[in-house]
Amino acid sequence: MKSSTIFDYPLFALGFRAFFGLAGLSALILIVLWNAIFKGELTLSNYFANTYWHAHEMLLGYSVAVIAGFLLTAVRNWTGRPTLTGDQLAGLCLLWLYGRIVPFYAGLLPDALIALIDFSFLPALAYQISKPIMQVRQYRNLIFIGLLLLLALGNGLIHAETLGIQENSAWPGIQMVVATIIIMILVIAGRVFPFFTERGLPGARVVRNPIMDGLSIAAAALVFGLQLFNISGIVLALIAVLAVAVNIIRVAGWYVQRIWYVPLLWVLYIGYGWVILGFGLTAFSAYELVAPTLALHAFTVGGIGVLTLGMMARVSLGHTGRALRVSNAMAIGFVLINVAALFRVLLPIALPDWYGVLVYVSTLSWLATFSLFVFVYAPILTTARIDGQEG
């Protein structure tokens, strides 16, 4: 008789369980550490410079954990083939976790080893995702392999400057990572928003427009490409306005007024709205009417933060056999994550003298949000499906 091990427990039954759990915990721990470092209350030896560490960990730590959990789960659905479970999934999780820890061992471990450990996660994830996709020849899904490798390239640019291999490559690397995550969000949105809307609202029918899907992604890629090459002014402003317009038209085709009665839907649509606002603020920043960091945080705190929370909440319920209804506590969390974005992005425009206070309130709202997520979803992620099925 085979004895059970820790890897046989539900936490390692499917990718979303372990990685969404890690994402939720990291969203708390990383922001607590950053807040203490930002305020000068904590000094830690780190492989990265402080500002680069914050950006790196929120993008290539938290956000990539959500991406890993989503793709390891979605690819199994798309292909009908198994993805990592058990000890292999735990090994990939440990690789991600080591990437978060080893930067604090700078001076004790060689910098090259720290970089290698962190860098290796995304290629490893891309390889594992590609196997079932190639087995069933779903070549259209290879776009996600390309996007994962772009994330790895951006990460490599950050490490190149940190290691002294390349000068001034870290910021372009961060820009590339943000751009790739937003483009990945736009690709996934075209697949899941119409489905989630029709599934969540009986009788609803949404408009799917492949042309607008392509235009929205192309316009976004142009905006980020111009920024990567430091092209601003009227060219960037016009393309950013185009990105706003095509994405509004795209979302309008999916929109059904009844979404406002379903938190699992409105959180996703509001998250998409923050992405659109990011393009709008990019247009203003091209003429130095607002700080570029506000556009950046519209994409990150607003777009990435709100959408990843909404996706984790929805995917976790659906793939554990539960009804697609969030608790009141999680609905409050959806409000709080948007409050965090509001205080980090929009209110500093109107109240610049209150910037420090606004960032502090944003931080508290973010921490409250993910405290609720961990509290509500830890039991869901660590227990078996309620319908008795695998996963």
Note whether residue 106 is domain-resident.
yes
Give the pLDDT confidence score for residue 323 in this predicted structure. Answer: 92
Q: Are residues 195 and 208 in the same domain?
A: yes
Note whether residue 2 is domain-resident.
no
Q: Are residues 180 and 116 in the same domain?
A: no
Burial of 378 (0-12, 13-18, 19+ CB in 10 A): middle
Give the pLDDT confidence score for residue 1 in this predicted structure. Answer: 39
Q: Are residues 147 and 212 in the same domain?
A: no
Q: Are residues 157 and 184 in the same domain?
A: no
Q: Are residues 147 and 178 in the same domain?
A: no
Give the pLDDT confidence score for residue 5 in this predicted structure. Answer: 64
Q: Are residues 132 and 235 in the same domain?
A: no
State the Cα–Cα distance between residues 304 and 310, nearest whole angstrom.
10
Distances (CA, A) of 229 to 129, 172, 173, 232: 31, 9, 12, 9
Q: Are residues 341 and 248 in the same domain?
A: yes
Q: Are residues 216 and 335 in the same domain?
A: yes
Compute the CA torsion angle 64, 148, 51, 354 (nearest 10 deg). Answer: -70
Note whether residue 4 is domain-resident.
no
Note whether residue 48 is domain-resident.
yes
| 2 torsion bin: left (phi>0), alpha (psi -120 to 50), beta (else) | beta
Residue by residue, pLDDT tens for the chain (391 residues) are 345 566 778 999 999 999 999 999 999 999 999 988 888 888 888 999 988 999 999 999 999 999 999 999 999 999 999 999 999 999 999 999 999 999 999 989 999 999 999 999 999 999 999 999 999 999 999 999 999 999 999 999 999 999 999 999 999 999 999 999 999 999 999 999 999 999 999 988 898 899 999 999 999 999 999 999 999 999 999 999 999 999 999 999 999 999 999 999 999 999 999 999 999 999 999 999 999 999 999 999 999 999 999 999 999 999 999 999 999 999 999 999 999 999 999 999 999 999 999 999 999 999 999 999 999 999 999 999 998 788 6
Q: Cα angle at 98 between 381 and 71, to 5 degrees?
A: 45
State the Cα–Cα distance between residues 38 and 53, nearest whole angstrom.
11
Beta bridge partners of 106: 109
Asked whether 342 and 351 are in contact (CB, 8 A), the reply is no
Q: How many structural domains are present in the chain? A: 2
Give the pLDDT confidence score for residue 388 in this predicted structure. Answer: 76
Note whether residue 391 is domain-resident.
no
pTM above 0.85, yes or no: yes
Note whether residue 389 is domain-resident.
no
Q: In the numeric block, which tokens belong to residue 184?
A: 């990945």
CA proximity to 128, closest of 170, 77, 92: 92
Burial of 100 (0-12, 13-18, 19+ CB in 10 A): buried
Q: Are residues 56 and 83 in the same domain?
A: yes
Of 167, 182, 200, the one marking the end of a domain is: 167
Q: Are residues 177 and 162 in the same domain?
A: no
- Containing domain of residue 51, as a range? 9-167
Give residue 374's Cα distance to chain centre: 17
Q: Are residues 250 and 361 in the same domain?
A: yes
Q: Are residues 141 and 232 in the same domain?
A: no
Note whether residue 127 is domain-resident.
yes
